[in-house]
Amino acid sequence: MDEGLVEALQKDYTTAAITKPERVMLNYVVKLTRDATKVSQEDHKGLREAGFDDKAVLQITLIAAWFNYINRVADSLGIA
């Protein structure tokens, strides 16, 4: 992967040179991470409009939720 892109994503994904579907996906993942109770059908609709089918929406959600879970477990146990 392009190192410059990786750095841009780490610094601020909202200004990184990514596609519109990638931006929609990352906006969704950030919302899910910050407060999953605020995710709505409108968010899923936005993903579909960006080109993601139902399977992709499920996969995006599961992967983001899994990483959130694992990071919280690691943080709580002091695993670096």
Predicted local distance difference test score (pLDDT) of residue 16: 95
Instruction: Give the predicted TM-score (pTM) of the model.
Output: 0.88
The full DSSP string for 28-63 is HHHHHHH-GGG--HHHHHHHHHTT--HHHHHHHHHH
Predicted local distance difference test score (pLDDT) of residue 1: 74
Predicted local distance difference test score (pLDDT) of residue 80: 73
Q: Spell out the per-residue pLDDT of the chain, length 80, in tens.
A: 789 999 999 999 999 999 999 999 999 999 999 999 999 999 999 999 999 999 999 999 999 999 999 999 999 999 97
Predicted local distance difference test score (pLDDT) of residue 36: 96
